[in-house]
Amino acid sequence: MGHQDKLMAPPEAAEFLGFTVRFLEQKRYQGGGPPFYRISNRVRYSRVELQGWLSERRFTSTSDEVEGAKGSPVEGSLDMPMGSLPAEGTP
């Protein structure tokens, strides 16, 4: 991390991304979310790494998703509005 980077708590990271804290909690458990740090019992996100995670999910058309994505598209990607996460246990 460079001197320009900032570690953020989950509420700040969720606001930065436009998601809920619950989304980040689910992605930490399920995988597929942004990278995070666990320092003692605290979770922190790097602003630079959040921006990189977002950049990896940038597309200019729906066909880009299929051709250029690393693996399958991420469930709950940026097109999912806040508060619309599937219930736990939902595929």
Domain layout of the chain by residue ranges: 7-68
Task: Supply the pLDDT for residue 62.
Answer: 85
pLDDT of the residue at 73: 46
Checking 76-84 for CB contacts under 8 A at 24+ apart, the result is 76/19, 76/23, 76/26, 76/27, 78/18, 78/54, 82/18, 82/19, 82/20, 82/23, 83/20
Residue 74 confidence (pLDDT): 47
Query: Can you give the pLDDT at residue 48?
Result: 95
Q: What is the CATH number of domain 7-68?
A: 1.10.10
Residues in the chain predicted with pLDDT less than 70, given as ranges, are 1-4, 65-91
The predicted pLDDT at position 81 comes to: 44
3-state DSSP helix/strand/coil % of the chain, to nearest 5 = 35, 10, 50
Quickly count helices (H) and strands (E) in the chain.
4, 3
Q: What is the pLDDT of residue 77?
A: 47
